[in-house]
Amino acid sequence: MKSVILISMAEQRLQLREGRHVLMDVVVSTALNGPGEQRGSECTPRGWHQIRARIGADAAFGTVFVGRRPSGEIYTPALRAQYPRRDWILTRILWLSGLERGRNRLGTVDTQRRYVYIHGCPDDDVLGLPGSHGCVKMRNREVVALFDLVEVGTRVWIGEEPLPETFSTPLP
């Protein structure tokens, strides 16, 4: 049975489910600007996606990524003080690709071309409240656990509503 990732912007929560089993249930942070699909909006895109790429499998815990490549840095509070405006993408990246043409795929609404990820963030970032630039931020230890449980092609649902008790919507 295939697993699916469900993300609720209302609850700022991510679940990994396999059938009726919840394998992971964690607090995350989606976009400060709320939901939306337009390029340049810094909003979190809604609808069905899939994991297009898994990046950082062998990276050290706290590795800083810039342009999806390790920068050679390991995150520290001192590094944050040195670069206070940097959007910290740490430890692992699950790069998302939209599956719904015209909603989150192709043209000005293309999730992949917007570089929307599920990724690790500094431990002192506030989760449970919107605060990202469009991505889904997670604690580093939790993104490593998720990364190890999913593969390229895993489906991801991002919605504004609370997570349902049971989930039976057919996958696209």
CATH number at residue 22: 2.40.440.10
Amino acid at 71: S
Stretch (H or E) spanning 78: helix 77-82
Asked if the structure places residue 110 within a domain, the reply is yes
Asked if the structure places residue 118 within a domain, the reply is yes
- Total structural domains within the chain: 1
Amino acid at 16: L
State the pLDDT at residue 131.
97
CA distance linking residue 142 with residue 164, whole number of Å: 21
pTM score of the predicted model: 0.95
Asked if the structure places residue 26 within a domain, the reply is yes
Kindly tell me if the per-residue pLDDT of 47 is higher than 70: yes
CA distance linking residue 9 with residue 159, whole number of Å: 6
Which range marks the domain in which residue 101 is found? 3-159
Say what the alpha-carbon torsion angle 74, 13, 103, 93 is, to the nearest 10 degrees: 20
CA distance linking residue 152 with residue 172, whole number of Å: 15
Asked if the structure places residue 153 within a domain, the reply is yes
CA distance linking residue 67 with residue 65, whole number of Å: 6
Mean pLDDT of all residues in 13-35: 96
State the pLDDT at residue 168.
60
Kindly tell me if the per-residue pLDDT of 170 is higher than 60: no
Asked if the structure places residue 164 within a domain, the reply is no
Asked if the structure places residue 167 within a domain, the reply is no
Asked whether 71 and 56 are in contact (CB, 8 A), the reply is no
pLDDT tens digits, 124-168? 999 999 999 999 999 999 999 999 999 999 999 999 999 988 766
Asked if the structure places residue 55 within a domain, the reply is yes
Taking phi over 0 as left and psi of -120 to 50 as alpha, with beta for the rest, 67 belongs to: left
Asked if the structure places residue 68 within a domain, the reply is yes
State the pLDDT at residue 154.
97
Stretch (H or E) spanning 144: helix 140-149
